[in-house]
Structure formats: structure tokens, C-alpha cells
Structure 1
Amino acid sequence: MFHDEKGKTVFSPQIKVPATYIRGGTSKGVFFNLEDLPVQAQVAGKARDALLLRVIGSPDPYGKQTDGMGGATSSTSKTVIISKSSQQDHDVDYLFGQVAIDKPFVDWSGNCGNLSAAVGSFAISSGLVDASRVPDNGIAVVRIWQANISKTIIAHVPMTDGEVQETGDFELDGVTFPAAEVQVEFMDPADGDSSMFPTGNLVDELALPIDVIAAGSVNATMINAGIPTIFINASDLGYTGAELQDDINSDAEVLKRFETIRAHGAVKMGLISHIDEAAGRQHTPKVAIVGKACDYISSSGKRVLATEIDLNVRALSMGKLHHAMMGTAAVAIGTAAAIPGTLVNTAAGGGERESVHFGHPSGTLTVGAEAKCIDNEWRVTKAVMSRSARVLMEGWVRVPGDTLI
């Protein structure tokens, strides 16, 4: 919008940008080829953030994202930018932007594990993977450089008659319809610049205000694997670990309590220097509660039996309890479960393990992890899980022309 020489208001026409709307795991987001973005948005900065905010429909004080592609949840307010890889022995670079719903903010501090399952298929379909690496039939192995956290992800994408196969009979709790299975490997998922346990401890005493917890502190396992995550025993906060979304998200005071825990944990992990900075880093760290295996009814009405799982985990994302489980948090769960002494491992029954099967609000999920203790330092070589991905729509997304001004 601008004014001409006569003072008349002139509105800019919409511009259209090639985009693909994809479900990956239990999330969905708008995917872009970097070269298809307007020139101003091909580099990090205000123009890129402004474009992605307008595409998703944020900030929206109504919390609905009606005027955009977002679905008004942390799982559906997501954007992805893919490009030919700048890294040796990788096919594509994958950049993830978590778009806040009610604030003018795009968080670039972490990865989305669920959408990682869709990166390989988008890259192949967009011609970003060398044809010699893509079989007509079988499994295409796509080497992904996760640019937010500087880590490698390997996606095993099924191919049929030269096309990405998206349909299949693989069922993923939290997703209504079956699809083709995509195995995703998160290589060396811990932060390469620091210890997997930033405090040096498997369990810490996290000091908190007494209005959050009367004891003034709570035990926590704080791990940086997949995504920085703070694990707390559900029972220490008055929960079982078998809660569903409404049990947590319907109470604003409870959500405020979890946000306070997240802020204090972020300081303890060295991610921020003061709790006030947590508001500007909404995507990380995550907070999760763990509980011993017990029977419960999932959000879909499916009965989950204690005998079917090792433990229960509930995690919050962008200030709300997640409807299933974030892929990156699942990596953190699998990693922590593999290391004896963490709260996750203890809740799962203790001992050494190479995989863990846990319950979440929508059902269950299995994650494998390879952990080794070398020179008194725990290392995880990779974490593995199966997801699925499906293109929902492709074409162009439109935004007002003055968005980038």
C-alpha cells in the first residue's frame, strides 16, 4: 500500500511464489525451493521472515491463521526452505522456520524432525538430487544437511517407476491415513559444540520459583540431542504422564508454569543468559514430562496398554502440549532412554537399551538410538525412526506485493 501523487491510496497486487504444502510425520508445512523465493527472501533477514509470516498468516491475534496457510497449532505453523547442498557428500540443505502464531516472529533455532521425513521426497521431486542417486524402483538415500543445527539427516525414500511413492500401508499414530514408510536417521544428533548434557550431569536439581513448585526445585534431565529438551518426572508436577492435550492446554496457569520451567531450564542449559530471553526463543528448548507405563485412552479413542509401551512421555511445543510427539523430541527421548541414569531411562525401567517404545497423546512411537560412553562422555552415533510424508498441494502461494517492502 502506498499513496500516489494525488494522495490516493494504491494497493499493491499480490505476488505468487512457487510452493508445496506437505505433511511430514505429524506436522505439515509450506516447502520452498530457495531459488524460487523472491530475491530479497533468498537470504536470511527481515524480508525472508516477513514473507514467511505472511504466507502462514501470522501474527494473528485471533490465533486462527485464517488468512494464511497455517493451521493455528505449532505442528502446522511451519516453513521449510530447500536448496542444493553447500556441504560435501550431501544432496540438499534443509532450513526450518517455526512461525509463531500470535507474534511477528520466525524461530530458526532448531530443526523439525517430523518435516525431515518430507525433505527427501521434496528434494527428489524438485530435481535437487542428482539423478544417478535416485533409482527408478527401490529406496533413494537422500543425504540432508540440516542447516539450523549443522547436522546430517539421512532419509530413505521409497521410489516406484521413477516417482516418489507416497501411498502405502504404514500407520503412524497422530496421522489419520496410512502412507509409505520413510525411515529417517539423525546422525550424531547431539550438539557438536558442547556436551550432550550441557550441565555435565545426567540429572540436575533445577531451581524454580516456589509458585511453580513448592519445594523450590525439581529433578530434571537436560539433554541436547535432536533438540534441546528438559525432561521432568510427571509425578513431581502432579501428573501421570498419560495426559491428553485438554488436560494441559485448557489451563492458562498451567501453561504459564511450564513456560517458567522452560525459561529456567534454558538458562541452566546455557541456551540463554536470563529467563526474560526465553520469549525470543520459543522453539527451543522443549519441556517434556515422563511417567511409568500405564493404560490410557489416546486422543483418537485407541486404548494403549501399559504392557505395550516402555513409558509415557508428553511434550510441549511453542507453549502448548503437542498432539503427538515432535520428531526432534523423539530423538531426545530415544537418546536419553539409551543412557542409564537419566529420568527417561529410569521411567522406562532402567538398564541399557537400543530402542524405546513410548506412549504419547495420539498413540505410540518407537525410536532407536546407539549410545556409547567414551572417556566418561556419552556419545550417540545416530537415532532412527520411521515417519511418512505426503504432498497435499503444490503450485503457488500468494502474498500481498508490499509484504517484502
Structure 2
Amino acid sequence: MFQKILIANRGEIALRVLRACKELGIQTVVVHSTADSDAMHVRLADESVCIGPPPSRESYLNIHQIVAACEITGADAVHPGYGFLSENAKFADILAAHNITFIGPSGDHIRVMGDKIEAKRTAKRLGIPVVPGSDGAISEEKEAKRVAAEIGYPVIIKASAGGGGRGMKVAHTEADLEIALQTAKSEAGAAFGDDAVYIEKYLQKPRHIEVQVFGDGAGRGVHFGERDCSLQRRHQKVWEEANSPALNAEERSRIGGICARAIADLGYSGAGTIEFLYENGEFYFIEMNTRLQVEHPVTEAITGIDLVHEQIRVASGGGLSVKQEDIKFNGHAIECRINAEDPRTFTPSPGTITHFHTPGGLGIRVDSGVYSGYKIPPYYDSLIGKLIVHGRNRVECMMRLRRALDEFVVDGIKTTLPLFRDLVGNPDIANGDYDIHWLEKYLAKGE
């Protein structure tokens, strides 16, 4: 087991990893920018190192400074959390060259899955169902029209090097295709420095289903069930739940088994999430995230397994602590991402939190690094906390969620809490009857 882990992140995920390390008796080092000197994870860590000014590129994305912090403190491993350098193959390679363990997959696996075109090819080779589309990048309009005619309109054009909705355009007819292709390539080049795009069939009313997987790097793989992340705004997840209200036990077992076998065949090490669009009983691979997900707590709630403990164990060479038959699913869990944003316009709302009170009671968990008097900086992601609720079934879970949202108090800034209070009372949400377009249509009605 590791002696000392450096946590290369901030906010709630840094605190989440820190807690896991403390439970395992591992010393912790956190890095922070000058804007985060009073953050909770900095206060609670065994050691802290300031690595630069507020801009991420000068601090949390500064590989040289993070490696130097490892060497100064004697950290023998780095946990990257999510975001920042968590899917940076170069970072993983540099740490390996300095004999520091990256708590995640190899740089090669990060590279393969970070390129959307190569990831799709790899998924297909591993037996994972994929969305019909181009075999590689599309550069010319003539080629785009040929592919679109083969798979049928509407089609979606996506950036090969990125995600989050950037470099992504839908064409409903051939007349739309030229401008969609040009716009997608332009956005992709500006956002990712790579204008390569590819084409896929655009599904009309899909759900977003993702499968949590783990590999030991030596040919073993397991899955921890699926999460439904269909409630999204601008391709950003807002509400996640496990298990999905849309799947039955047979579908759950089928897609989980496919993913676990693929991870084993790939020789993958650590945590990963294989993401799908799901429509009319069929799954279509869209990407794989080679890191811990923001929404991992809902999986922990229904399995009772600490996924960060598992990451650390695998990275230290201890292998997986469970076999597939050991993983049982208990009840239902929902996570709401509480952001420092206006609940109607979604404009960021940095500032000082004057009062902060979290809900409690059976089945309630809040992952947050903020406190009363804490100042939300304007430089980073607007996520300030996650409310995770667990119940014996979805009905009980929704009841607890409604009560927990009423108890949650964040004063001094605007947050998205009012949005979730509206959603929890909506009949479609109560019935689990929604797709990836539902939330944006709902929000448009309120404007």
C-alpha cells in the first residue's frame, strides 16, 4: 500500500479522496492555488503545497509544479480526481518516469479512449455495441454526404478530440450538412486544437446510460452496474441515478457483462465508465471516461463499495477486492449537482456563502468542500456540492430527496437548489419518463 498520496485536485473531490486515504491510514498531500488556500481539503490534509496563482493553467494544470510537489513531500502516488489532469496521458507518463504511481489507467489507455474515433474502433473490436457512423474522421463534404446517406438522417457531427457539447452539431437534412460540418470543425479546432470530426446517427429520444467498470490490469474486470445520466443541460449532467428507471434486470446484466469482459480483454487498470445512448432496447457506445466520475457516489450507495478505496487498492498492486458475484445492488440512489449558478439563467454566482446547512437523516449524503463563510472563487467549475440520497426503492428515494432538498440551505450566493425542488415534484421525473432532451425542453418552457 502507498505511504503518501498527493491529491492533484480541489473542491469536493479532493476532500472525497482525502477521506478515503485517512480511512486507509495513508498520509495525504494536497496541492492548491492561492485562491484555494482556505479550502477545506487544505485545512484537513497532512501537508499542503501552493503550486501557483488562481488560473488553472498556472496551478492545477501545471504538471511541473505538481511533480515537484511530489518530490518535495515524498509522495509515492497521485490521485487526480476528475477534470484537470485526470485524463492527461502525458501526466501519467511523466509520473511513471519519476517512479510515482498514477492512480488510474496507463497513459496508453488514456490516449486510446481520449480520441473519440479510436475509442469507437476499440469498442467495436471489444464487442461493445456502437452507434452507426463513419469509421474515421470526415474531412470533406462529399464524404460526409455519403456517410449520412448510408446511415440516414438526422446525423450528428462530433469533435474527435473533445466533448461537453463543443464541436457537436446536428444535421436533419442534406441541406443542413455543409454548415453543420464547417461549424463543428471550426468549434473543435478552437476548443481542442484539433478540428477532426466524425459522423454518427442522431438518435431521436435516447437516454444516457453509463456502466461503472473496474479492471485489475491483469485480465480481470468487473462492473458495478449502471447509472442513468439523462437529465442534462447543454450536454452537462445535472441529475444522475442508479439503477436506471429505463432498464430491466436482464438488460442490466447483459450490458454490464459486455463491459466487464471488454475491460478484462483490454487489460485495463482502475476505474472507468463506458457511456452509451440507449433507445428502443438497444445500447450504442459513445465514449469511455478513464477516471472516477462526478456521480460515482450513487454507485457506492447501491453497492456499498467505496470506489476510491478500490482505485487505491488496484493502483497499489492489490488487485480487485471483489468478484462479480460479490457485487449486489441494493435499492435506489439519486445525485443532484448543486452548482453556484442562477437557477434560471445558469450564470455563475461566485461570492461568499453566509450560511451553509446540509440535510441529514437516513440515506442522506452530501459531498461538499464548502462551509459558512467560504468564498466561492470565480476561476473554477461552479460545482459546490452533491446531494446523494438512497432509499430501498425509487419511490422512497424520491421522498427522501424531496425532504432533503427542503432542508438544504445555502445563503449568500445563487444556487441550482430551486431547480431540483421543481424537478422532484414533476410527474415525468417521478415516473422516470425522460430522455436526454427532456430538461432543455422543460427549461425552455419556463423562459
TM-score of the aligned structures, taking structure 2 as reference length: 0.24
Structure possessing the higher relative contact order (Cα contacts under 8 Å, 6 or more residues apart): 1
Higher helix share: 2
Higher strand share: 1
TM-score of the aligned structures, taking structure 1 as reference length: 0.26
